[in-house]
């Protein structure tokens, strides 16, 4: 049997700066990833336009009025909001698109026949494609 030998004697010692460079690269990549993750979470949790249907009223056979609360991130944001009115048989009987102001908005929705409900599809901006 041969005598045990030290691996450093057999294969040579590892480079003294190699481990430090590897750790540095891992730290930089991890910091970049965490920065990107934080930025993504912030952007998705603070949309340019946020909306909520407060209520609606069926006025007559061909009209409904909806009250929509819209919150814009800044005053210069131009948003577009969409409402949809449904009949008793769940078919779409009217739609309305409007440019909201910050705060409560009263919107009239013209309908083909009597609506039984009004749904807010959401608000979008040029930088926010997903309706909220």
Q: Say if residue 57 is in the same domain as residue 40.
A: no
At CB < 8 A and 24+ separation, what contacts does 40-43 make?
none
- Domains held by the chain: number: 2
Q: Say if residue 36 is in the same domain as residue 56.
A: no
Q: Say if residue 60 is in the same domain as residue 94.
A: yes
Asked if residues 81 and 68 have their Cβ atoms less than 8 Å apart, the reply is yes
Summarised one tens digit per residue, pLDDT across range 34-62 is 999 999 998 888 888 999 999 999 999 99
Summarised one tens digit per residue, pLDDT across range 24-34 is 999 999 999 99
- Indicate whether 54 belongs to any domain: yes
pLDDT of res. 101: 92
Looking at residues 3-23, what average pLDDT do you find?
A: 78
Q: How many residues does the chain have?
A: 132
Please name the residue that has the structure tokens 């005053």.
75
Q: Say if residue 53 is in the same domain as residue 36.
A: no
pLDDT of res. 113: 95
- Indicate whether 90 belongs to any domain: yes
Structural domain span for residue 33: 7-45
Q: Which residue has the higher pLDDT, 36 or 128?
A: 36
């Amino acid at each position: 049997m041969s005598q045990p030998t030290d691996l450093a004697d057999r294969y040579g010692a590892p480079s003294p700066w190699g481990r430090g460079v590897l750790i540095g690269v891992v730290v930089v990549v991890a910091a970049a990833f965490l920065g990107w993750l934080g930025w993504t979470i912030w952007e998705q949790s603070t949309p340019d336009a946020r909306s909520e249907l407060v209520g609606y009223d069926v006025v007559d056979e061909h009209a409904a009025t909806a009250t929509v609360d819209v919150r814009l991130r800044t005053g210069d944001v131009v948003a577009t909001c969409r409402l949809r009115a449904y009949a008793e048989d769940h078919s779409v009987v009217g739609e309305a698109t409007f440019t909201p102001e910050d705060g409560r908005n009263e919107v009239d929705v013209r309908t083909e026949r009597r609506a039984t409900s009004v749904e807010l599809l959401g608000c979008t901006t040029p930088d926010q494609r997903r309706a909220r």
